[in-house]
């Protein structure tokens, strides 16, 4: 397994190419379908793959959380993904994928890991609603490999949100509406339903209008419609869009490509782009800025997100008054 991830650092070169690498794994035979389904997780989020160590049970945890393990002195929660997905398979979970994102480390128990595939985000499709419902929103994208073989990309952000106990109300406490916020619009793109809901709630509290999309391609189409309207109305897009907030990982078009398109199109001159991602390492922030991102905000921190949005929206309002 160490060989499997030996060259994992080379993945950073994929940024801005609309490509990704995913680690394939299985959870066992799903009794609902009688098949052994294949899942994937973006290699960006994988720290290591190891044999499942002894797990210490922890009280008052969600049923899918098996307990905790100590990895080099750090206590890490362990989630049984089959249980989380509602699969009652009896297949042993002998492998643990250790993931790290947004400053959190956790272990995912799986049946087995397969290989690492390099794909283009354009090959990843938004999953059908029926599949999303059957798996409780666990999947954010689907692709088909020769065979045919479907691979479903795991929404690790949803797993983190639903297996970690946060005081949801406390996260939004003290956020106040922006004066005149109902006169500006934010466009955002994110493939995670959990992330979209948190963005929407933050914008609702700020009193700001918004247009949401499930991926970069859909956001680009929405922005294109707005730009066409702005041209016909002899208006500047930056007077109609306060900013664009984008995730990095998204099917069909990722956040890097979306940012490149916005920054290279003169119609969107002066429109700030904020990268909002669980990939919070410095290397990812630098890669975002290399394609034109104006600022970077980590996910699941509504207070910081609200502060950043407020500052940029208020600065934009002052600029429009001067003009």
Q: Render pLDDT for 232-265 as a digit per residue (tens, 0 to 9).
A: 999 999 999 999 999 988 888 989 899 999 999 9
Enter the tokens of residue 320.
């429009």
Whether domain 168-322 has CATH 3.40.50.2300: the reply is yes
Q: Render pLDDT for 34-79 as a digit per residue (tens, 0 to 9).
A: 778 889 998 878 889 999 999 998 787 778 889 999 998 888 999 9
- Cα→Cα distances 21→45, 115, 118, Å: 10, 10, 4
Task: Determine how many CB atoms are found less than 10 A away from the CB of residue 295.
Answer: 18
More confident residue, 140 or 95: 95
Question: Half-sphere exposure (CA, 13 Å, Cβ side) for 93?
Answer: 22
Enter the tokens of residue 276.
């909002």
Question: Half-sphere exposure (CA, 13 Å, Cβ side) for 192?
Answer: 22
Domain residue ranges of the chain, discontinuous segments joined by +: 8-163, 168-322
More confident residue, 215 or 59: 215
In this prediction, residue 30 has a pLDDT band, given cuts at 50, 70 and 90, of: confident
CB-count burial class (<10 Å; 0-12, 13-18, 19+) for 289 = middle
Average pLDDT, the chain: 83
CB-count burial class (<10 Å; 0-12, 13-18, 19+) for 266 = exposed
Q: Render pLDDT for 279-311 as a digit per residue (tens, 0 to 9).
A: 655 556 666 676 788 998 888 788 999 999 999
142 pLDDT more than 50: yes
Residue 225 pLDDT: 96
Residues 6+ apart with CB under 8 A from 219: 187, 188, 189, 213, 244, 246, 258
133 pLDDT more than 70: no
In this prediction, residue 185 has a pLDDT band, given cuts at 50, 70 and 90, of: very high
Residues constituting the chain:
323
Residue 93 φ/ψ region, left for φ over 0, alpha for ψ in the -120 to 50 degree band, beta for the rest: beta
The CATH fold assigned to 8-163 is OB fold (Dihydrolipoamide Acetyltransferase, E2P) (2.40.50)
Enter the tokens of residue 233.
């109305």
DSSP 8-state secondary structure symbol assigned to residue 111: S
Name the E strands within the chain.
19-30, 35-42, 46-51, 65-71, 74-80, 95-101, 104-110, 112-120, 139-145, 149-154, 185-189, 209-213, 243-246, 273-277, 295-298
CB-count burial class (<10 Å; 0-12, 13-18, 19+) for 32 = middle
Residue 8 pLDDT: 43
Asked if residue 161 lies in contact with residue 190, where contact means CB atoms within 8 angstroms, the answer is no
4 pLDDT more than 60: no
Distance CA(246)–CA(157), nearest Å, equals 15
Q: Is 225 helix (H, G, I), strand (E, B) or coil?
A: helix
In this prediction, residue 166 has a pLDDT band, given cuts at 50, 70 and 90, of: low
């Amino acid at each position: 397994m160490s060989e499997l991830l030996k060259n994992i650092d080379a993945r950073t070169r994929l940024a801005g190419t609309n490509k990704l690498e995913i680690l394939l794994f299985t959870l066992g035979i799903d009794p609902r379908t009688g098949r052994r389904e294949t899942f994937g997780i973006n290699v960006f989020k994988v720290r290591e793959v190891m044999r499942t160590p002894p797990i210490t049970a922890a009280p008052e945890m969600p049923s899918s959380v098996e307990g905790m393990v100590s990895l080099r002195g750090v206590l890490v929660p362990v989630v049984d993904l089959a249980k989380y997905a509602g699969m009652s398979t009896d297949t042993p979970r002998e492998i643990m994928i250790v993931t790290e994102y947004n400053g959190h480390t956790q272990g995912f128990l799986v049946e087995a890991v397969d290989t690492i595939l390099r794909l283009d985000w354009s090959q990843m499709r938004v999953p059908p609603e029926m599949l999303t419902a059957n798996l409780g929103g666990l999947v954010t994208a689907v692709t088909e490999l020769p065979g045919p073989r479907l691979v479903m990309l795991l929404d690790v952000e949803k797993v983190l949100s639903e297996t970690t106990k946060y005081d949801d109300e406390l996260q939004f406490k003290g956020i106040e509406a922006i004066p005149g916020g109902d006169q500006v619009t934010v466009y955002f793109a994110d493939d995670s339903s959990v992330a979209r809901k948190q963005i929407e709630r933050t914008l609702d509290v700020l009193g700001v209008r918004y247009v949401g999309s499930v991926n970069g391609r859909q956001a680009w189409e929405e922005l294109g419609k707005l730009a066409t309207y702005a041209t016909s109305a002899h208006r500047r897009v930056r007077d109609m869009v306060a900013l664009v907030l984008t995730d990095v990982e998204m099917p069909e078009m990722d956040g890097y490509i979306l940012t490149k398109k916005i920054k290279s199109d003169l119609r969107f001159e002066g429109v700030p782009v904020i990268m909002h991602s669980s990939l919070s390492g410095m290397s990812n922030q630098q890669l975002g800025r290399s394609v034109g991102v104006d600022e970077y905000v980590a996910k699941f921190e509504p207070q910081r997100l609200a502060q950043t949005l407020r500052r940029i929206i208020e600065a934009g309002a002052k600029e429009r008054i001067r003009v």
